Amino acid sequence: MAEKKNEILELTEELVKFQSTNDNEEEIEACLEYIEDYFSGPEFSIKRHVHDGTPSLVVTYGENSDPGLMLHGHIDVIEASDEMFSPERRDGRLYGRGTSDMKAGVAVLMHLMKDMKAEKPDMGLMIVTDEELGGFNGARKLFKEYSPDFAVSAEPNNTEGYMHIITEQKGVLRLKLSTEGLSAHGSRPWNGENAVEKFMDKWREVKGLFSEHGAGENWTTTVNLGKIKGGESTNKVPEKCEAWLDIRTAEEYPNSEVIQDIKDIDGLSTEVISDEAMLKTDNDNVYVKALKKSADGFLEDCSITRKEPASDMRHASREGIPAVVFGPEGYNPHAPDEYTVIESLEDYHNIMKAFVSDKFSSNGGGQE
Ligand SMILES: [Zn+2]
């Protein structure tokens, strides 16, 4: 058992060493080639997909264009200092860029694929390279080509406590709003119309569409006015004001209604920058329940829950594919102190193996 843990840990470290940020095509390519090499052998079939220049891989046991279970991981990471690409083991944790988000998860899934090669369960592993950019050329396209019965992303939960199964994540709506005014000299404001003031009025109307929220969890649709631009100089009446909103949607107030309500406000121009649906999978789905059962065999307290941040699994949801986010324990993604909890890697491996054996193995129930 200790050997397995070490193998996964070493594999994670190898993956972390690639500086596979979204703008570093060479390192992304090198990392993909490393993964292809890992699966060299007659048992595996590796299909490379390229959409608009963005490469992805799907690994299966022999030719299988329709695996019942699709595992998912991304190898692209957020920029970091060079030192962060030299992973460091400390206090039962592995620190480094992409340890948590999400090369530890990728390493476990890779190990799992190899570990089960004799059984050849009906599953595939999807490795994408553009999750941090929204996944539009990776998971978005691949979940149109593959229609598994269930998908699991090994993204970290980044939540308090140990691993949990996430069946819901909020939708994302990004809007650019603008108001137009009339420029004039600052000494004669009556000759102009102030676009910034006009926006401030309209903003109150926009904000009024969303319910009030307090501290703690708010499973409601929320709005953040993230950026605003208006005016050129102090002595000039601004003729244009632009603002960018980050709206996270829950079922109570979905994307389409929010867009319509904001478009209905007079004197405000609305441009939809992105419109991304929620991840929403039924908690009673047979695979969700089976995964929970497997997790309960190894963990004391694994719940089926929901989380605000979006992930690539929304692309599966969009195609009607039941999907969950369930990965090893990891914290501080995108931050300088990003780490994964080493102990969780083996637990995650064991849970996934039990789940796959239970639900996707042809010889059924082949748990060790
Ligand atoms: Zn991630």
In this predicted structure, the answer to whether residue 23 has a pLDDT above a threshold of 80 is yes
Share of the chain above pLDDT 70, in %: 96
Contacts (Cβ under 8 Å, ≥6 apart) of 229: 241, 242, 243
pLDDT of residue 159: 66
pLDDT of residue 367: 41
In this predicted structure, the answer to whether residue 217 has a pLDDT above a threshold of 80 is no
pLDDT of residue 368: 39
What are the beta bridge partners of residue 92? none
Q: How far is the CA of 153 from the centre of ligand 1 (A)?
A: 9
pLDDT digits (tens, 9 = 90+) for 83-108: 999 999 999 999 999 999 999 999 99
Confidence of residue 301 (pLDDT cuts 50, 70, 90): confident
Confidence of residue 162 (pLDDT cuts 50, 70, 90): confident
In this predicted structure, the answer to whether residue 329 has a pLDDT above a threshold of 80 is yes
pLDDT of residue 366: 41
Q: Which domains does the chain have, with CATH numbers?
A: 2-169+278-359 (3.40.630.10), 171-276 (3.30.70.360)
Q: How far is the CA of 99 from the centre of ligand 1 (A)?
A: 10
Residues lining ion ligand 1 (Cβ < 5 A) are 101-102, 155
Q: How far is the CA of 228 from the centre of ligand 1 (A)?
A: 28
pLDDT of residue 2: 76
Confidence of residue 3 (pLDDT cuts 50, 70, 90): confident
pLDDT of residue 362: 78
Three-point CA angle 113, 122, 69, nearest 5° = 85
pLDDT of residue 8: 97
pLDDT digits (tens, 9 = 90+) for 103-140: 999 999 999 999 999 999 999 999 999 999 999 999 99
Three-point CA angle 171, 177, 178, nearest 5° = 175
Cα–Cα distance for residue pair 273/98, rounded to 1 Å: 27
Q: How far is the CA of 74 from the centre of ligand 1 (A)?
A: 7
